[in-house]
């Protein structure tokens, strides 16, 4: 048993929201909560959820090891992560291998299998479900299998698990041309035209009208795509890079900013940020992918796509909030984006601070002076620092020295 605190509690469902509490932890969960008058030494909320992250494991032997990936997750303050394979997990034996490899990690992993293989053939959905699939998606670089999706959607709805659709396929735009953004065209980015997002979202909306069931689309990157998702009444999410960075970053030819889909214009970025604040975008995902270094450290035209964001997702979001806004309102917004909304979306417990609750908490603090973030985000500063997560009594014990 371990007593820790005082914490400032960030939980809009709790009568102690914004107040100070001391928590008593046991190996079987939260034992007790005691309100106190002294100010909190750190903030605590229900554990943050990364909606959809990516990995090259186990397809690429040089990819980031599981333990290193899990450590980045913990440093970012995420207790639960939705995870899918960059090349797709459409084979039950591969998904079972990933399930076994991630079972003992210090974070809760939700595995999303692909409903089709790279050639667009329907995957063995029931076998994937039995092998541990928690939901469904397609990898970002996989071509959109129109016919396969039409045939798979009714069965995916029957299986009743989250379904993420990524509207960034070259076929949706009708060409493989240079995007219409002048900055991207100048940088030589031959990828997905911006209008392809709107076209794909429209098509997905038509599928949904015919076959029903919830569809989650994202990350939304353009104002037109957001408007189309709203017209089609689709659940939409964006990702941290698209509300923090814009397409001027690619003019540096720094390969770290070669993302899929690409960064968009300043107007798109502002529109997404405002939509998030108005809750028109349900959740933000970090959209984390750390490609093997030998694939990223190349000249722009040859570099792989992807940028790790798990460690800095919350600090980046915090840096975008208006400091003139009341502190508790900003804290509530952050926790809503990172914990409450994705938990509702995935059907996870919202988390609680009552006796008997499971240990699933994120601990962070606010600094008086903002600090530069780790590379490649070192040009950004934030006053939010993640101290760690609590999913076990050992976690709570190891945080003691950082909190005091």
Q: What is the pLDDT of residue 176?
A: 46
Residue 376 burial (C-beta neighbours within 10 Å; 0-12, 13-18, 19+): middle
Q: How far apart are CA 35 and CA 142, in angstroms?
A: 51
Q: Do 314 and 337 belong to one domain?
A: no
SS (H, E, C) the chain: CEEEEEEEECCCCCCCCCCEEEEEEECCEEEEEEEECCCCCEEEEECEEEEEEEECCCCCCCCCCHHHHHHHHHHHCEEEEEEEECCCCCCHHHHHHHHHHHCCCCCEEEEEEECECCCCCECCHHHHHHCCCCEEECCCCCCCCHHHHHHHHHHHHHHCCCEEECCCCHHHHCCCCCCCCHHHHHCCCCCCCHHHHHHHHHHHHHHHHHHCCCCEECCCCCHHHHHHHHHCCCEEEEEHHHHHCCHHHHHHCCHHHCCCCCCCCHHHHHHHHHHHHCCCCCEEECCCCCCCHHHHCCCHHHCCCCCCCCCCHHHHHHHHCCCCCCHHHHHHHHHHHHHHHHHHHHCCCCCCCCCCCCCCEEEEEEEEEEEECCCCCCCCEEEEEEEEEECCHHHHHHHHHHHC
Instruction: Read off the pLDDT of residues 300-340 as tens digits, 9 standing for 90 and up.
Output: 888 888 899 999 999 999 999 999 999 999 999 999 999 99
Residues 19, 96 within the same domain: no
User: What pLDDT is attached to residue 79?
Assistant: 97
Q: Which residues of the chain, if any, have pLDDT below 50?
A: 175-178
pLDDT tens digits, 239-278: 999 999 998 998 888 889 988 888 999 999 999 999 999 9
Residues 394 and 248 in one domain: no
The CATH number of whichever domain residue 37 belongs to comes to 2.30.40
Do 185 and 221 share a structural domain?
Answer: yes
Q: Rounded CA gap, 347 and 335, in Å? A: 17
Total domains present in the chain: 2
Supply the range of the domain harboring residue 156: 48-319
Residue 2, number of CB atoms within 10 A of its CB: 16
Give the chain's length.
404
pLDDT of residue 177: 45
Query: How many Å apart are CA 282 and CA 345, to the nearest integer?
Result: 8
Q: Do residues 188 and 307 both lie within one domain?
A: yes
Domain identity same for 297 and 364 = no
pLDDT score recorded for residue 238? 95
Q: Can you give the CATH number for the domain in which 81 is found?
A: 3.20.20.140
Residues 295 and 370 in one domain: no
80 and 212 fall within a common domain = yes
Q: Report pLDDT for 175.
A: 46
Judge if 59 and 39 occupy the same domain: no
Assess whether 308 and 392 both reside in one domain.
no
Model pTM score? 0.93
Among 304, 301, 312, which Cα is nearest to 375's?
312
One domain for residues 172 and 290: yes
Same domain, 23 and 60: no
Determine the Cα–Cα distance for residues 252 and 303; give it in Å rounded to an integer: 14
């Amino acid at each position: 048993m371990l007593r820790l605190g005082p914490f400032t509690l960030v939980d809009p469902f709790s009568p102690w929201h914004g107040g100070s509490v001391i928590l008593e932890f046991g190996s079987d969960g939260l034992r007790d909560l005691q309100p106190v008058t002294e100010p909190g030494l750190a903030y605590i909320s229900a554990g943050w959820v990364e909606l959809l992250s990516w990995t090259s494991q186990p397809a690429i032997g040089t990819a980031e090891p599981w333990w290193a990936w899990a450590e980045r997750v913990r440093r970012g303050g995420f207790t639960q992560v939705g995870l899918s394979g960059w090349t797709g997990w459409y084979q039950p034996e591969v998904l079972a291998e990933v399930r076994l490899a991630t079972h003992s990690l210090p974070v809760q992993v939700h595995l999303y299998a692909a409903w089709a293989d790279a050639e667009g053939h329907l995957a063995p959905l029931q076998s994937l479900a039995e092998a541990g699939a928690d939901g469904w998606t397609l990898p970002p670089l996989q071509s959109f299998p129109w016919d396969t999706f039409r045939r798979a959607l009714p069965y995916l709805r029957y299986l009743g698990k989250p379904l993420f659709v990524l509207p960034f396929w070259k076929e949706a735009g009708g060409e493989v041309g240079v995007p219409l953004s002048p900055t991207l065209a100048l940088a030589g980015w031959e990828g997905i035209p911006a209008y392809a997002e709107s076209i794909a979202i429209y098509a997905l909306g038509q599928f949904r009208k015919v076959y029903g069931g919830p569809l989650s689309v994202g990350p939304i990157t353009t104002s037109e795509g957001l408007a189309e998702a709203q017209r089609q009444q689709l659940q939409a999410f964006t990702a941290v890079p698209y509300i923090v960075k814009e397409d001027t970053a690619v003019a540096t030819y720094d390969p770290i900013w070669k993302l899929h889909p690409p960064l968009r214009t300043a107007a798109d970025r502002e529109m997404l940020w405002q939509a998030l604040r108005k809750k028109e975008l349900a959740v933000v995902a970090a959209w984390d992918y750390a490609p093997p270094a030998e694939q990223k450290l190349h000249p722009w035209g040859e570099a792989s796509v992807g940028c790790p964001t798990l460690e800095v997702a919350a600090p980046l979001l915090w840096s975008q909030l208006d400091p003139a806004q009341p502190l508790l309102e900003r804290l509530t917004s952050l926790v809503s984006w990172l914990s409450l909304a994705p938990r509702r979306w995935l059907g996870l417990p919202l988390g609680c601070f009552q006796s008997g609750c499971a240990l699933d908490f994120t601990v962070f603090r606010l600094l008086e002076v903002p600090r530069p973030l780790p590379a490649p985000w070192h040009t950004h500063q934030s006053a939010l620092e993640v101290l760690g997560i609590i999913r076990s009594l050992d976690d709570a014990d190891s945080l003691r020295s950082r909190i005091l």
